[in-house]
Amino acid sequence: MSNEKLMNRWWVVIGAILIQLNLGAMYAWSVFTPYLKGTSSDGVTEFGFTATQTQWIFSVSILVFAIVMIFAGRWQDKIGPRKVALSGGIVLGLGYILAKFFGTSFLGQLICIGVVGGAGIGLAYVCPLAASVKWFPDKKGLITGLAVAGFGFGAMIWVKLGGAWGHLIDNYGVLNTFAIYGVLFALSILLGSIVMVNPPDGYKPAGWEPPAVKNSAPSGGEDFTPSETFVTPQYWMLWIMYAFSATAGLLVIGNIKLFGISSLEANSFVGNASAAAGTAMVIFALMNGIGRITWGTISDKLGRARSILLMTLLQSIMMIAIIWMGGTIASLYIAAGLIGFNFGGNFSLFPTATADFFGPKNLGANYALVFTAYGLSGIIGPILGGKVFDVTGSYLWAFIPASALCLIAAAISLLTKPPHHNEIGSAKTVGAPAGK
């Protein structure tokens, strides 16, 4: 145990990135969807899924991910992150392996990939975040950004392995690729979980002291239990901001390929619109990972609320701008990159804001509560885009409401301040905003 306590804390970051690289495969789902709508590349397996069915598998995985994370957050707070991360890797790998045998039907993939795979991601996801924040109280924004950056970069890796780099789907078919991915997920997360341990109680990095108290009042970061967190206005402010901001990003993730194709072709693009839209997906994933690190670093300097304000304002602008920027390849790439960059910021800003507001002790359980907002967004965002396009033939009335939601989130960020177990001493009264 003493060896674990004295371990180099950067090993936790390396393990966190390795785990997240595998969990990010969820965002690579779009690499499978063209095959699922027709016949697999093996020429034998006929799927014939509708576009909506492919989106439901993706949406259900996000919803289950968020729900299971509530349980996982409490569990890892009790027994530590290593066992929970390991169990998540096993469940995620099992889901994809089972999909090889039962994935010929929509229901089989919905259960194996959506439910079982989503549950595995939910179990493993919170562990690297909670452990990293506890080891790095002096660099919460940067380290959280690094820890979750793997999720964004992982999407790019798994897209390319399945397609242009590894040609796994073309060479082995969809079902065999599911099995290959499942084995890789389980083994890689097992390796990353080895260093998923918490620091000793009361740990502080050498030479670092917690921020000074201002105006004789705590400056946030007091430890709240999940039940205390849930009744504060600050929790609901974070939840709403997260839901509104994530809806915009997930709308684009789920629909950017079809949007790119339709927009380029509507503007008389001569060439392979599908390939250009696929490249836009990769750029989104790359900038998603970069955004997680960058916004985390920015928030260490500007504070979480100001960073959320800037991120959601920029995203609000981009959700309108992409309507016109989708018509040319260069501007489509720029729009996809900026939206991905902002979307990535959600995953570094909201965990660190949760730690700032409600303390690091119960971060796993508290952030799991906040993260349910993402689960709801996973249903609303992708399905909204698809339905609006089916009815109107355009994404205009999907992007405009998403822009408005981001603008509302920006306004809420101006009102958000840390809660306190104030002088009354009652945990029931923590909802009143504190002065700066």
pLDDT at 45: 58
Q: Supply the pLDDT for residue 326.
A: 92
Q: Are residues 105 and 165 in the same domain?
A: yes
Nearest of 248, 341, 251, 240 to residue 294 by alpha carbon: 341
What pLDDT does residue 426 have?
45
Question: Does 79 reside within a domain?
Answer: yes
What is the structure's pLDDT at 431? Answer: 39
Residues 6+ apart with CB under 8 A from 355: 133, 140, 221, 363, 367
Residue 209 lies in a domain: no
Are 180 and 305 contained in the same domain? no
Task: Let me know if residue 332 belongs to a domain.
Answer: yes
Q: Which CATH number covers residue 20?
A: 1.20.1250.20
- Please report whether residue 215 resides in a domain: no
Question: Six-digit token pair at 10?
Answer: 């950067």
pLDDT at position 219 is 43
Per-10-residue mean pLDDT for the chain, 436 residues long? Answer: 64 94 86 75 68 84 91 89 96 97 94 96 92 88 84 84 85 94 96 93 82 47 86 94 95 84 83 83 89 91 94 97 93 96 94 90 89 91 83 89 97 89 44 36
- Per-residue pLDDT at 87: 97
Q: What is the pLDDT of residue 422?
A: 59
* DSSP one-letter string for 25-37: GGGGGGGTHHHHT
Q: Quick one: 321 and 263 in the same domain?
A: yes
pLDDT given for residue 201 in this prediction: 83
Residue 77 is assigned to a structural domain of this protein: yes
Q: Same domain for 311 and 407?
A: yes
**Owning domain of residue 55:** 2-193
152 and 289 Cβ atoms separated by less than 8 Å: yes
Instruction: Give 342's contacts (C-beta < 8 A, 6+ positions apart).
Output: 245, 249, 291, 295, 311, 312, 314, 315, 318
pLDDT given at position 35: 85
